Amino acid sequence: METVLSIIAIVLSVASGGFSLYSFFWTAKRDRRQATLDAYNQLQEQSLDYLNYYTPSQIAEIAKNPRSEEYKKSAHT
């Protein structure tokens, strides 16, 4: 009877360890995805939103001269 209980305890321990590992990796993957989304949202509000104020022809004109003030302004906002 004791061996049966020992085997059941070992099986439960291994299952618990497996579930813990799965939970750890699932949480780590989710946290990385969330960090990526947070970083993209920050990039969007700090830089990409300002590009909406320019027309495509203005962007092409600004991109031609990387030493211009307008280029530096749009690159660092």
Reported as half-sphere exposure (CB side, CA atoms, 13 A), residue 50 has a value of 12
pLDDT, tens digit, for every residue of 61-76? Answer: 888 888 877 777 755 5
- Note the pLDDT of residue 77: 53
Give the whole-angstrom CA distance, residue 39 versus residue 33: 10
3-state class of 54 per DSSP? coil
Distance, in Å, from the CA atom of 51 to the CA atom of 59, rounded to the nearest integer, reads 8
Which tokens hold the place of 1?
A: 């009877």
Could you read off the pLDDT of 6-50 as tens digits, one per residue? 999 999 999 999 999 999 999 999 999 999 999 999 999 887 887
